[in-house]
Amino acid sequence: GENVEQHPSTLSVQEGDSAVIKCTYSDSASNYFPWYKQELGKRPQLIIDIRSNVGEKKDQRIAVTLNKTAKHFSLHITETQPEDSAVYFCAATKSNFGNEKLTFGTGTRLTIIP
Amino acid sequence: DSGVTQTPKHLITATGQRVTLRCSPRSGDLSVYWYQQSLDQGLQFLIQYYNGEERAKGNILERFSAQQFPDLHSELNLSSLELGDSALYFCASSVAGTPSPLHFGNGTRLTVT
């Protein structure tokens, strides 16, 4: 089955600086890669996703890049703000009708230092 | 609001007991997933149902079982509870057919004393 590794496990950055979180996946057939943000005690919420036919996607201060050859994808947050502090999870899955189980990375706890 | 409803929000019970967690997926979503999240841990996949049928199993203990009913709501049954079963249990749903985001409910926080 799919295995997703995520690094770093914790990350502290000064407010206004950029943060980068990296993930690698094992199944070359995986073709969908979402990122979730989870605040303490709350549900994971989708912040951005990318499909394998695209190399990069941006949404305001958030961007995701995908390197299919190397089987890794990254989350980039620019101009970080205190409200960006949370745990971020990457995930991967592949097209399989009726079985789109997401395999999650172990999470990155991001702390923005004011 | 994700559209996924989980009840109850909190559950406190004793070791050895049995509980049932309930989930109603978003309207139109056929797939339901259950995940367990222990304190400061990641999201561990338990089981997935699609239109009433079990489709995938993760690290789900034999003491745990689940089902999806004709109206597509799902229940996760946890029996012979142990202290280590204390966790947040999330239900998520998605549209089947193409990879699409999972939409998570707000979770049920289970505390076993």
DSSP for A39-97, written as a single string: -TTS--EEEEEEETT-SEEEETTEEEEEETTTTEEEEEE-S--GGG-EEEEEEEB---T
Torsion, CA A6, CA A9, CA A12, CA A18, rounded to 10? 0
Q: Does the beta-carbon distance from B106 to A42 stay under 8 Å?
A: yes
pLDDT classification of A98: cutoffs 50, 70, 90 = low
- Whether chain A has a CB inside 8 Å of the CB on B31: the answer is yes
pLDDT classification of A95: cutoffs 50, 70, 90 = low
Q: Does the beta-carbon distance from A104 to B56 stay under 8 Å?
A: no
Q: What tens digit of pLDDT does each residue of B4-26 get? A: 999 999 999 999 999 999 999 99
At residue B2, the pLDDT reads: 82
User: Which of B106, B113, B111 is closest to B35 using CA atoms?
Assistant: B106
Q: What tens digit of pLDDT does each residue of A9-18 get? A: 999 999 999 9
pLDDT classification of A41: cutoffs 50, 70, 90 = confident
d(CA A102, CA B86): 23
Question: Which residues 6+ apart lie within 8 Å of B45 measured at CB?
Answer: A101, A102, A103, A104, B33, B34, B35, B56, B58, B59
Q: What tens digit of pLDDT does each residue of B40-91 get? A: 778 999 999 989 999 888 889 999 999 999 999 999 999 999 999 999 999 9
SS3 A33: strand
**Phi, psi for B76 (deg, rounded to 5):** -115, 120
- Whether chain B has a CB inside 8 Å of the CB on A46: the answer is yes
pLDDT classification of B106: cutoffs 50, 70, 90 = very high
- Whether chain B has a CB inside 8 Å of the CB on A58: the answer is no
Q: Does the beta-carbon distance from A94 to B99 stay under 8 Å?
A: yes
Residues A49-63, mean pLDDT to the nearest whole number: 92
